Structure 1
Amino acid sequence: MGKLLKKMSFFSVLMAIVFMFVQVLSDLYLPTLTSDIINNGVSKGDVKYIWSVGLVMLGYSVISILASIGNTFFATKESQKLGKRLRSEIYQKVEYASLDQFDQFGTATLITRTTNDVNQIQMVTQMGLRIMMMAPITLIGASIMAYRLDHQLTKIFLYVIPILMVFLGVVMYFAVPLFKSMQTKTDKLNLIFREGLTGVRVIRAFNRDDYEAKRFDTANQDFVNTAIKVNTIVAFLIPIVTLIMSGTNILIVWQGGHYIANMEMDVGNLIAFMTYATQILMSFMMLSMIFVFVPRAQASAERINEVLDMKDDILDPEKPVELTEASPELSFQQVDFRYAGAEKCSLQQIDFTAKKGETVAIIGGTGSGKTTLVNLIPRFFEVENGSIQMNGTDIRSYRQQDLRSRIGFVPQKARLFKGTIRDNMLYGDQQATDEQIWKALEIAQAKDFVSQLPEGLDSRVEQGGGNFSGGQRQRLCIARALVKQADVYVFDDSFSALDFKTDGQLRQALKENVTDSIVVLVAQRISTVVDADIILVLDEGKLVGKGTHQELKENCTTYQEIISSQLREEEIA
């Protein structure tokens, strides 16, 4: 956790400490003034003295209040700034992480680490600049002041404090592990809740509402039971400390009464001593609360550091090559790829070259490696062997930003962002004009339905594009990629939700309008790939066929099987 706390501002921390010292010193001096009023004012009937000392007490109280406000301001300001920095750093780290690294954590735990875990750090930081400093300073200061008043009575603390520490130790022994386990249970709760929200259509379609509700209730109840248990244990602290404090005051009054009776102690001193005793015991209680929350925050800090310490496994070269405006060319040269931890390569010996104006279609069975192959083009993953070249240079020689600026990518899952259609289109090119956007929509066969919307390009897009059909979402995603003037356009099974007529029209529009770029498309249907210049046939990660439709129909067994599974004999001929 110390690594995270180093991110705090030195000035804010210093000011919080200064104000805390002022507050504690003011609070420590008040019981002494109370003692003076009783001993020299009340006992002698000196009203003037009472007023004069009372005004001094009022002054110190005002100073204490102002110092407390100053300390709270800087403590809160710094803890919130730290939280802001941590959330930004986690988000940026995740945004730049490779897909392999992202998959290692998962969405649910990353959300928890960005919210709940950061909140734990914020809370402990604020407590640290408030209670963690106040408790030891007050403890030491009150002990010194109490000893000055009567060193005999301070012997009571030699009996009371060990008893208090034993009780606090027992409470912490049982509570701290439970606090740590709550973080993991929060992850699980987040995971189930997110799955339930994103998969609501599937859940309803299969009538699994009750099952998912029970699944969530089980995780929720587990979290609740742990929270109740840990808070019940911690709840013992207040009555225990109250009981010990009451017992301590009884001992002080009983022993101090004898001293007063023997004229060995003034009444005012006894009252002041009791106040200091309360401050000492309250300091111990505050320290105990720190020991309860710090381990929980430490667990959160470790989880946050796991993300922040994640080493980037896809790095830009130290001396990047400039990606020139040359005629586009994409080449895979004996490429092998293996997912992290996998025993077997997902792609083996992939080799092909595509030039300006050509369309490369990739087809194969489920799990054959089609999506994996196109994900290597923008360097979402790093190849194991071989090389991928753009314009004759290995893509690892370019900056990732430069490389991806030349690629228009449509992922397998059509994903739109909340906002307007125009906002989503501008994702492809922030400088795009309405004319360019409408042209891209026309090529993507989306112009007709967008123009019929009352607000046109300013029509609302709900989260994930939920207010559009699957085919409409796909066409909008294709248009978003086409708005970008790219050297390579990648369509990862992006026509799957389109009917045959729209599919054919879209491919024809691409052929007529995208003549200066390379088009790489993944498809399941023969009709989608039949006109491609190069067709790659994948089977279990291996390139088993490469050529035109006519060549593969005659020479590639796997391609022939795909054709026979989709077309009738008369259509094949």
Structure 2
Amino acid sequence: MFKIAKGRVSAWMITGAVLFMIIQVITSLYLPNLTSDIVNNGVAKGDVPYIWKTGFQMIAFALVSVIAAVGNVFIASKVSQRLGQRLRSDVYRKVINYSHDEMDTIGTSSLITRTTNDVTQIQNAWVMVLRMMIMAPIMLIGASFLAYQKNHTLTLVFLIVLPIMAIFMGAVMYFAVPLFRAMQQKTDNINLVFREGLTGVRVIRAFRQDAFEQHRFDTVNKDYTDNAVKVFSIMALMFPIMTLIMSGTNIGITWWGGHLIAQQAMQTGNLIAFITYAMQILMSFMMLSMIFVFLPRAQASAVRIQEVLAQHTTITQPAAPKSLAGTTPSLQFDHVEFRYRSAEQPALSGVDFKMTAGQTVAIIGGTGSGKSTLVNLIPRFYDVESGAVRVNGLDVRDVDQKELHQQIAFVPQKANLFSGTVRDNMQYGNDNATDEEIWRALEIAQAKDFIAETDEGLDYHVEQGGDNFSGGQKQRLAIARALVKDAAVYVFDDSFSALDFKTDANLRQALKDDPLISQRVVVIVGQRVSTVADADTILVLDDGKMVGRGTHAELKATNETYQEIVNSQIREGDEA
């Protein structure tokens, strides 16, 4: 927990928090001594001026203590909140640069928990550290020394009380700490099921699985609740038992101190001060114990966050990046082989082709044949195992990732829009895109009509995920977003699937007719033969292998796999 804070908290602010806490503890420790003086020298002797004088001193010390406490709390809060802010920023920045491999390893739901709940645990722990962890040892040592000064004999009470408290707190830690650690994983499970339920709510309703999903959530929710009830029940026992121990200690000190006063071996004021110091000692010991109970949970959270920050990123920047500036648009797969992490068999093998400016390559194949895997290698979402992927003649591993992504316009399978306006979403492709350029892209993507029909036009509001558009509309807007970008390679990963045949044909024709895009490399992944039929080159994939390459006519005449795909999509008597 302290390691993760290195470089993220100010040493000066921590020093200030420590100084304020030392002042608060010293003034708090001095107050019982002044109380003792008032009783011994003022009340006992009837010296009213002395009582007033010492009383004003007590008020002054109390004010200093309050000011120091406020200063400490202010700094502790500021340190913890800044630490949380920087941790969340660092985690988000790290995750944004993750490859698909790292995202798959940790999981989206767990990343959300680590960025929110785990960071909050660390923030709370740091407030506790800068308050209790500094106060408790100083108070414990100082109060013990001053109590010993007041009466040597009464301090023997602590030889009985402190071991009892130590045994009790040890038992609490033994049972509570593992349960606190388990709560973070159980929070992950709740987020996972809840997130799946929210994103898949339409599917759940369509298949009438409401009861099943509710049962799933109830299971993980009950698991978390049972764990929380156990741990907080254990923690709830702490305060009444500690109160019982402290009350018993008070009774014991008062009884023993009364005998000492009766024997004139102790003054009344000293007994009052000793009782106060005894409470400070016991409270300090309890605070230390609570720290040792709660810190392991924060430590577990720190470990989880450190896992995210220390996660080895497989996609690394080249030591001496080459520039794509001035290069001619082209795309080449040079005997590429790729396998997913821990997979026994390669997802792609022997993929070899080259496309130059003005050419369109289409990729078709059955489900699981490796089509999306292939196009995910172009923007370097994954790295190849052997061979090379080249954009504009350069190996993508030798190019700075930012510059590489500037040269690739990518439309993923799932059309994902962001909350905001249509213009905001279009400018994801090009920050400086003008309205004219956006309308041009919308027209090519066959999205101009339904946007122009709205009163707001480009300022039309887009809900989260684009839920106020149909599936086909979202897909066309996602395509338009890519077309706003001036790239060397345009990749459409099965992004025409929600379009009707007429819109599909019009869109592909518009791509060919556009003077800019017609001079670039276009990659189309499709399931329908009609989508890929007019491409310059069609690649046929089967089980990760390229089993065919050629035009529609060539493949239809000679390639068995392509023939099967064609035959499965046409009725007898139709032509493809």
- Among 521, 524, 539, which residue is 1:536 paired with? 539
1:465-488 per-residue CA deviation (whole Å, 9 max, x = no partner) reads 111000000000000000000110
Q: Which residue of 2 aligns with 1:230?
A: 231
Q: Gapped runs of 5+ residues in structure 1?
A: none
Superposed displacement of residue 325, structure 1: 2.2
Q: Does 1:505 align with 2:491?
A: no
Q: Which residue of 1 aligns with 2:14?
A: 13
Q: Which residue of 2 aligns with 1:376?
A: 377
Give the 5 Å matches for 1:261-272.
261-272=262-273
8 Å contact from structure 1 (residues 564, 572) kept in 2 = no
Which segment is superposed worse, 497-506 or 289-298?
289-298
8 Å contact from structure 1 (residues 407, 487) kept in 2 = yes
Superposed displacement of residue 239, structure 1: 1.1
Q: Does 1:549 align with 2:532?
A: no
Q: Which residue of 2 aligns with 1:2?
A: 2
CA–CA distance in 2 between the matches of 1:306 and 1:138? 36
Q: Which residue of 2 aligns with 1:563?
A: 566
CA–CA distance in 2 between the matches of 1:254 and 1:284? 23
1:409-462 per-residue CA deviation (whole Å, 9 max, x = no partner) reads 000000000111000000000000000000000000000000001211111111
Q: Which residue of 2 aligns with 1:278?
A: 279
> Secondary structure of the equivalent of 1:332?
strand
1:201-225 per-residue CA deviation (whole Å, 9 max, x = no partner) reads 0000011111111211121122111
Q: Which residue of 1 aligns with 2:530?
A: 527
> Secondary structure of the equivalent of 1:342?
coil
- The amino acid across from 2:405 in the alignment is R
1:299-339 per-residue CA deviation (whole Å, 9 max, x = no partner) reads 11111111011112111111111112222111111000000
CA–CA distance in 2 between the matches of 1:394 and 1:172? 56
> Secondary structure of the equivalent of 1:315?
coil
> Secondary structure of the equivalent of 2:117?
helix
1:194-252 per-residue CA deviation (whole Å, 9 max, x = no partner) reads 01100000000011111111211121122111111111111111111111111111111
Q: Which residue of 1 aligns with 2:494?
A: 493
Superposed displacement of residue 569, structure 1: 4.2
- The amino acid across from 2:164 in the alignment is I
Q: Does 1:72 align with 2:73?
A: yes
- The amino acid across from 1:125 in the alignment is W
> Secondary structure of the equivalent of 2:518?
coil
> Secondary structure of the equivalent of 1:496?
coil
8 Å contact from structure 1 (residues 374, 492) kept in 2 = yes
Q: Which residue of 1 aligns with 2:479?
A: 478
Q: Gapped runs of 5+ residues in structure 2?
A: none
- The amino acid across from 1:533 in the alignment is D
1:110-151 per-residue CA deviation (whole Å, 9 max, x = no partner) reads 000000000000000010000111111100000010011111
Q: Does 1:200 align with 2:228?
A: no
Q: Which residue of 1 aligns with 2:323?
A: 322
CA–CA distance in 1 between the matches of 2:318 and 2:50? 79
TM-score scaled to structure 2, two decimals? 0.99
- The amino acid across from 1:410 in the alignment is V
Which segment is superposed worse, 257-266 or 275-284?
257-266
CA–CA distance in 2 between the matches of 1:98 and 1:560? 36
1:334-375 per-residue CA deviation (whole Å, 9 max, x = no partner) reads 000000000000000100110111100000000000000000
Q: Which residue of 1 aligns with 2:463?
A: 462
Give the 5 Å matches for 1:21-170.
21-170=22-171
8 Å contact from structure 1 (residues 563, 572) kept in 2 = no
CA–CA distance in 1 between the matches of 2:254 and 2:5? 44
Runs of 4+ that moved beyond 3 A: none
CA–CA distance in 2 between the matches of 1:462 and 1:5? 37
CA–CA distance in 2 between the matches of 1:557 and 1:324? 42
Give the 5 Å matches for 1:425-440.
425-440=426-441
CA–CA distance in 2 between the matches of 1:295 and 1:305? 15
Identity %: 62
Q: Does 1:352 align with 2:353?
A: yes
- The amino acid across from 2:109 in the alignment is A
> Secondary structure of the equivalent of 2:208?
coil
CA–CA distance in 2 between the matches of 1:5 and 1:473? 43
> Secondary structure of the equivalent of 1:457?
helix
> Secondary structure of the equivalent of 1:521?
strand
CA–CA distance in 1 between the matches of 2:175 and 2:399? 55
CA–CA distance in 2 between the matches of 1:21 and 1:27? 10
> Secondary structure of the equivalent of 1:354?
strand
Superposed displacement of residue 516, structure 1: 1.5
CA–CA distance in 1 between the matches of 2:201 and 2:428? 28
Which segment is superposed worse, 366-375 or 173-182?
173-182
CA–CA distance in 2 between the matches of 1:325 and 1:435? 26
8 Å contact from structure 1 (residues 356, 517) kept in 2 = yes
> Secondary structure of the equivalent of 1:558?
helix
- The amino acid across from 2:46 in the alignment is G
8 Å contact from structure 1 (residues 180, 295) kept in 2 = yes
> Secondary structure of the equivalent of 1:572?
coil
8 Å contact from structure 1 (residues 417, 424) kept in 2 = yes
Which segment is superposed worse, 1-10 or 52-61?
1-10
- The amino acid across from 1:271 in the alignment is I
Superposed displacement of residue 570, structure 1: 3.3
> Secondary structure of the equivalent of 1:571?
coil
CA–CA distance in 2 between the matches of 1:437 and 1:572? 37
CA–CA distance in 1 between the matches of 2:118 and 2:144? 36
CA–CA distance in 1 between the matches of 2:281 and 2:91? 40
Superposed displacement of residue 407, structure 1: 0.5
CA–CA distance in 2 between the matches of 1:398 and 1:306? 28
Superposed displacement of residue 5, structure 1: 2.4
Q: Which residue of 2 aligns with 1:212?
A: 213
- The amino acid across from 1:571 in the alignment is D
Q: Which residue of 2 aligns with 1:414?
A: 415
> Secondary structure of the equivalent of 2:9?
coil
Aligned length: 573
> Secondary structure of the equivalent of 2:519?
coil
CA–CA distance in 1 between the matches of 2:186 and 2:248? 40
- The amino acid across from 2:324 in the alignment is L
> Secondary structure of the equivalent of 2:351?
strand
Superposed displacement of residue 253, structure 1: 1.1
1:8-40 per-residue CA deviation (whole Å, 9 max, x = no partner) reads 110110000000000000000000000000000
Q: Which residue of 2 aligns with 1:342?
A: 343
1:507-556 per-residue CA deviation (whole Å, 9 max, x = no partner) reads 00001112111100100000011100010000000000001111111111
CA–CA distance in 2 between the matches of 1:391 and 1:253? 88
Q: Once superposed, what is the RMSD of the aligned Cα atoms?
A: 0.8
> Secondary structure of the equivalent of 1:379?
coil
TM-score scaled to structure 1, two decimals? 0.99
CA–CA distance in 2 between the matches of 1:320 and 1:229? 55
Superposed displacement of residue 45, structure 1: 1.1
> Secondary structure of the equivalent of 2:469?
coil
8 Å contact from structure 1 (residues 416, 477) kept in 2 = yes
CA–CA distance in 1 between the matches of 2:87 and 2:542? 45
Q: Does 1:400 align with 2:401?
A: yes
Which segment is superposed worse, 449-458 or 219-228?
219-228
CA–CA distance in 1 between the matches of 2:380 and 2:223? 42
CA–CA distance in 2 between the matches of 1:329 and 1:206? 46
CA–CA distance in 2 between the matches of 1:257 and 1:13? 44
> Secondary structure of the equivalent of 1:489?
strand
